[in-house]
Structure 1
């Protein structure tokens, strides 16, 4: 028992003992012990009632509360939490309201108190909130405006097989399109995207990081995978290096995926894939989402109206472009010599347009990937990252002939 509480109880016993001695009046005792007359009479009445622990503090909770949650509702709330142990009060309220809309369920804060009273809430150390920064990603206003993709961090199953899950989500509806165990390579990723495009159609863009297999340090930041996206009419949106917060919606999904499927890991890769498939159904069709006002991603998502073509056509360029097909060496024939462009674009057509300065801009599909100067040297362009981070003081913009302004240039040759 706390020390202060023990002292208070001893004072009450002494106060009534002094009163019984007849040496003190009630007013003098009240001044001596620092209580009012009503308090004195209350403790005297409690002692005279014959209760053995009359000097102990009693609960101040009301004996009757007309707004108290019925025991039946509490049991249903606890049962739902036990069925979905990862869901918090707001998501539980959404699921309960969906399951029984005719019932007036308690507020999310009350549900939290019920879970805490049932011992279903683990205390979490509060962290200091970081300073918010400007949202780095562009607004997504409709389904299939932008998908997000990444490889979740690898881990091993209990039989020591390495697991590299490739994940794809829709940025607007948060719909989890796929979670697939594949090699973290271009060859491993292309079949997954092929199947996703066939089932759900083509998005307008895909947000990804700048590393393999999605991005590179080559011309335009392209790999064979992102170059294939461009040919299909899907624009790659590269985040800045070491900036996973710029794909924060997708990274938050990874946190839930990890908690559900890899703690602990499965016994084998096949069993782990079964967990991923079950999680995908749960995430899309059962788990309410905060960003959707506790609705389900499957209720918001619908396939794209742009079907995947049977074969990706070569890009078309304006008449003022010279067209070259990149050789197996990554080079093109240019003014009697060879100029290296990119190994990621081997076999692809690029368009080359002359600038007023006498230099030539090289374009693949709608993306400017580099510049050939008058001496025949190629300087690659850095990957475009519009709307993510303000560039440094820009150099004087060169005037292009019938094409959009050139993006930032990485002046390292080759």
Structure 2
């Protein structure tokens, strides 16, 4: 004989029918069914008021949630996300807190779950762990280091090539310039860079990669193309800084900016170059003044940036060298005369003064401003390039050149 199956509703129905029959007291029926008299009367009352439906289980979920998110808060979270599809829950919440600090906003995890439910989350591929890049050593305040680079070209909807160039303050992440240039050479970069110098003042250092038009394989990483812009940067009183070849993480803050720029303005690109330029202008406004940045404690770059007190008014001065240095002016063929011999330095530096410092071992360091061009060893008439592209840090033991004046007249 098989086991008989039963359910709670059937047992409650049998209990109610036994009570309604009137053959036993209610207490006795409760004992026989193994329930308390309080529960027995509860089910009896539900049956008499609702019928068979009253014997079914009811939801125990609370009717009102003390921490429920209001419909207005949900709509505002969704509207910010739709306006800025690349902003995550942390950034959206920080933005809303800044807009309305008096309101109680849901946690970032709740906002993230809301985005998931509304289909506004794009799952990203897991990335392998990437070792951290080089730290920004002395980048402790605004205008210590500016970073510049080309983002990489793409084509707008009408087939026009667009090559955006960006300039960013490394400390505050303030986007100083975001413009599309006709060509990637110094002749087109310098006017935009000089305009930024005039508007925001001079930084202490200007960081770039080792590609054109910022560097090359010549002495000190300078060629005819790169010297046209680098010589002006040095004469303006700014120290050029270059990352090592194949190490984009050393300029990681600007590289991360380029990813955001691509996602917000060129996925997909605009129909025309004019429309694309308008997107760049709107992006720069939003990035500097509205978009919270986690590395800045959810503040905006505009709150951490201020113009440099070192003003640029248009005068380019030749670099000055310590008194211990010998100074030679590069000849038209790129050579200098040292120790009775002609040594080739760089034809691109023709007419420019270079400093020479001889140490106790007879090694002569040749520099142009803050850039170490190379070393002349005893008995050799060739300039040997430094291993690290000739940054001024390689000559840290040398007496320091005087700093440029606060305001160039």
Q: TM-score range by the shorter chain?
A: 0.7 to 0.9
Work out which of the two has the higher radius of gyration on C-alpha atoms and give 1 or 2.
Answer: 2
Partner residue, 1:174: 173
Partner residue, 2:389: 383
Partner residue, 1:285: 289
Partner Cα distance (2:77, 2:286) in 1? 19
Quote how far apart the aligned CAs of 1:284 are.
0.8
Partner residue, 1:226: 230
CA offsets 1:114-141 (integer angstroms, 9 cap, x no match): 3333x15224145156165465432521
Partner residue, 1:390: none
Report SS of the residue matched to 2:385.
strand
Report SS of the residue matched to 1:305.
coil
Asked if 1:202 corresponds to 2:207, the answer is no
Whether the aligned pair in 1 keeps the contact of 2:91 and 2:292 (CA below 8 Å) is yes
Alignment of 1:17-96 (within 5 A): 61-96=61-96
Quote how far apart the aligned CAs of 1:177 are.
0.3
Asked if 1:98 corresponds to 2:82, the answer is no
Partner Cα distance (1:195, 1:368) in 2? 27
Asked if 1:301 corresponds to 2:305, the answer is yes
Whether the aligned pair in 1 keeps the contact of 2:148 and 2:206 (CA below 8 Å) is yes
Report SS of the residue matched to 1:328.
coil
Quote how far apart the aligned CAs of 1:320 are.
3.6
Quote how far apart the aligned CAs of 1:362 are.
0.9
Partner Cα distance (1:19, 1:101) in 2? 54
CA offsets 1:13-71 (integer angstroms, 9 cap, x no match): 6787799999xxxxxx99xxxxx99xxx9xx99x977678998x987743321221222
Report SS of the residue matched to 2:250.
helix
1:112–1:323 distance in 2 versus 1, CA, 3 Å: same
Quote how far apart the aligned CAs of 1:304 are.
0.5
Whether the aligned pair in 2 keeps the contact of 1:239 and 1:385 (CA below 8 Å) is no
Quote how far apart the aligned CAs of 1:280 are.
0.7
Partner Cα distance (1:51, 1:113) in 2? 39
Partner residue, 1:411: none
Report the RMSD for the aligned CA atoms in angstroms.
3.8
1:54–1:108 distance in 2 versus 1, CA, 3 Å: farther
Partner Cα distance (2:382, 2:81) in 1? 64
Partner residue, 2:114: 114
Asked if 1:366 corresponds to 2:365, the answer is no
Gaps of 5+ in 2: 16-32, 401-409
Partner Cα distance (1:298, 1:114) in 2? 30
Partner Cα distance (2:11, 2:61) in 1? 31
Report SS of the residue matched to 1:378.
coil
Query: Structure 1 residues 329-338 or 197-206, which shifts more?
Result: 329-338
Quote how far apart the aligned CAs of 1:153 are.
1.5
Report SS of the residue matched to 1:283.
helix
1:280–1:359 distance in 2 versus 1, CA, 3 Å: same
Partner residue, 2:257: 253
Whether the aligned pair in 2 keeps the contact of 1:330 and 1:342 (CA below 8 Å) is yes
Quote how far apart the aligned CAs of 1:195 are.
0.8
1:366–1:245 distance in 2 versus 1, CA, 3 Å: closer
Partner Cα distance (2:90, 2:77) in 1? 12
Quote how far apart the aligned CAs of 1:196 are.
0.8
Report SS of the residue matched to 1:178.
strand
Partner Cα distance (1:72, 1:13) in 2? 48
Partner Cα distance (2:90, 2:344) in 1? 57
Asked if 1:330 corresponds to 2:339, the answer is no
Asked if 1:272 corresponds to 2:276, the answer is yes
Partner Cα distance (2:74, 2:149) in 1? 40
CA offsets 1:147-173 (integer angstroms, 9 cap, x no match): 111110111112222211110100111
Partner residue, 1:190: 190
Partner residue, 1:165: 164
Partner Cα distance (2:324, 2:124) in 1? 63
If the length of structure 2 is used for normalisation, what is the TM-score? 0.78
Q: Give the total of aligned pairs.
A: 374
If the length of structure 1 is used for normalisation, what is the TM-score? 0.77
Gaps of 5+ in 1: 1-10, 23-28, 31-35, 388-396, 405-414
Query: Structure 1 residues 171-180 or 107-116, which shifts more?
Result: 107-116
1:385–1:152 distance in 2 versus 1, CA, 3 Å: same
Quote how far apart the aligned CAs of 1:190 are.
1.0
Partner Cα distance (1:60, 1:338) in 2? 94
Asked if 1:339 corresponds to 2:343, the answer is yes
Partner residue, 2:26: none
